[in-house]
A and B are shown apart, each in its own frame.
Chain A
Amino acid sequence: MTKGAVLILGGRSDIGLAIAHAFAAEGHPIWLAARGVETLAENRADLALRYGVEVSLVEFDALDTGGHGAFLDGLPALPEVAVCAVGLLGEQAQDEKTPAQAIRVMRTNFEGPAAILAELANRFEARGSGAIVGISSVAGERGRATNYIYGAAKAGFTAYLSGLRNRLARAGVQVLTVLPGFVATRMTAELDLPAKLTAQPDEVGRAVVRAVKTKRNVIYVKPIWQLVMAVIRAIPEPIFMRMKL
């Protein structure tokens, strides 16, 4: 029996690729969608050789929201699982002084992902099946001075996913929110991350596959993050506002 295809939006990202590996290892065909997707030819060969699955590359620009419908119409079929791993961390210190850059961070982390998932949600709802996976962030749980532009966009995305889940629950469509915490990726290569709190991309990949199989709603990849964020959310604002985080 052939397994359903998995569409990875943001197929160049380390987390997106790791999720692709984890689904391919289970025998799912993979469609990698990214800008300048032809440069992922090596990744396509690697996935196909390692797991013996079909891998396709599809050109996709998350910010070209007007083209999203045509993008989905151009796919060979509607995928079984759609993963949105599109994201841009930005440089908070510069972005807060440069509105155009801040807007780019907000559009990449919220507007683009929300727009493409809207199209997918409508089609999955009509079909009555499918899984939508959104890679959001613990940064969206409380705004901090050091990354609130990124965090605000992720907060929006988290709320959006929660709303989609509520709407699609009756349609038989799963919506999974992934809050990975720190992950050792290209995005965080310049940051000094604490090892105990940092997941490897392949851990995220396996956790996502497991969560899709078991129909979970929200996951933190490393359980410790649930506790960390509970504490961070519980700090009273008068204290939080003076903290350096």
Chain B
Amino acid sequence: MKLPRSAVIVGGNRTPFVKAGGAYAQASNLDLLTAALDGLAARFGLAGRRLDEVAGGAVLKHSADFNLTREAVLGSALDPTTPAVDLQQACGTGLETVLYVANKIALGQADSGIGAGVDSASDAPITVTDGLRRALLAANRAKTLPQRLQALARIRPHHLLPIAPQVVEPRTGLSMGEHQAATTASWGITRAAQDELALASHQNLAAAWDAGFFDDLVTAYHGVTRDGLLRADTSAEKLAALKPVFGGTEGTMTAGNSTALTDGAAAVLLAEQSWAKANGLPALARIVDAQVAAIDHTSGDDLLLAPAHAVARLLERQGMQLGDFTFYELHEAFASTVLATLAAWESAQFCGDRLGLSKPLGSIERAKLNVHGSSLAAGHPFAATGGRIVASLAKALHTEGSGARGLVSICAAGGQGVVAILEAV
């Protein structure tokens, strides 16, 4: 399919990512998103300029932040007449904001825009119990004082306890880690393989920092200049010593091969290709195509394997093979998520029964996977991960030279997955 116009990635900017409750404990989603936008504006001379739209989002969001992205724009160096929209698709949010802007550019509805995402697990909204909420809402609706008192009289002491947000699938009651533990076991993903992937993530991210790869992708924030979760000195032995946190005592998933709760924000500048040129902006890579898919974990499907389906549909539409890419960016929600996805693509049974293919999609070269590190080492501020990946991949592809292609794959809560193809300009 030929798109009417070409949407290119001009560049990106993010804050360093840090562990929740750490250096950004006092920063809100709005603060972090504003910082990411300001850094992007500074990098590309966007101060005082009106862009066609900024799309942003957060997964853990206060109801007071109903217009989070618009408020961030108003607090940023961008022209205040730049419009904004909030999107949300769990961990797919960041990539979806990029696709939203890219699609508008491709269709001629916009020439320039930003796709962004932020999450602060430190600033997560605490909610009140259902009992208190319903009583307060009823009191609010009441027309007379006795009615109001009657409604308030329904409040019980235990209603007053606060409720912190949980990463639990509402329809199964299982946490994401518990879901993934079942997937890990059923695909027979070993502890050693998971730790190996985690180690590679830290080593790759550390090497990229040392090589200055992130110098034009990250802006220091709140005294932090590097990703705080990165353990450049970790080793196979250190990772092997960690106790399992999911899957019981016999489990293979540890704090070392699972992502930690993280704070951070990321933003990606997109533009129509000739508009970028006319405005003296670089063009790193264009968005070729994208696909979203979902599985039914409420019937027992593997919660985080929807990207395996999305990639199959995307390759089919593009007439491409799984091996046709220079780089692969598979979001490391857990090391075993990446490994189970790779195993699924290699499985004749999965590809036949679930994807309807006559032969497996095949293997990928591990040396091309997450070459600048991924979420295990960088951390995973849910909605910011898409922007981190897209900007890093676009830069890496551009360095490879025109025509180099990269595949992005991100799994999300609710049994969803969003994937995209980028191509170096």
* A, B co-complexed: no
